[in-house]
Structure 1
Amino acid sequence: METLEPAPFYRLVLFRSPAGYGKTTMAAQWLSEHSHTGWFNIDENDNDTFRFANYLLQSINKATGNACLKTQAMAERRQFACLSTLFSELFGELIDYHEQTYLVLDDYHLIHNDDIHDACVSS
């Protein structure tokens, strides 16, 4: 766990190793020491842009105590042209949220939708 001590100083921390090496367990153990955490267990079906957006926002709202309910409603109603637009709304709602927050995208390697990748990278 010492390796993760500087993690709060980074916007992204990537755990990468073959299956069975304990990435998920390590993340869960580390996050158990923190409040304001969200967890999105990704599967192949999450390559659907609307599904990805909805589950991502549910995870963020869990971590933030529902700081993004407006954006969540947009995702649920599919009221966004693209993920980048939705993420802009999300960041607008989070502008006044100042708690240290962690979000795990477990098994992100299962995402092969370029629209999702592009939105995540550009945000």
Structure 2
Amino acid sequence: MAIIRYTGIYNADGGVWGETRYVIGHMLGTAACSLCDITHSPIRRKPQWDAMVARLGVPFTVRHRNEITPAEIAHVATTGLPVVLAHHDDGSISTVLQNSELDAAAGSVDAFESALTQPALAA
């Protein structure tokens, strides 16, 4: 099963009101999204993020939780948010990185890229 694309899903709603609510909540410490911390600085999307996506060789889209497809909704019901999903050529979806792994990247695009592209080590 080849990966044909990735989808990152933020633990935040899109749209002007959703994004405003997240920014205020983030500043007050009542809202958090480790994927947001990886893809964005406080002002805009990180250039390092765009460069990493260009290196992947497959599309990587990010969506807010109120913008996902029914198949993605069903999948994240078991994984929680934020999450990175892989879409495979047979139509299946798998979880690549969950919140704990995104938290471990601590906002670093380089750490995220390593976690995304390195196979998990056997325990």
Fold conserved (TM > 0.5)?
A: no
Bigger relative contact order (CA 8 A; separation at least 6): 2
Instruction: Determine which structure has the larger helix proportion and give its number.
Output: 1
What's the TM-score, normalizing by structure 2? 0.28
Instruction: Determine which structure has the larger strand proportion and give its number.
Output: 2
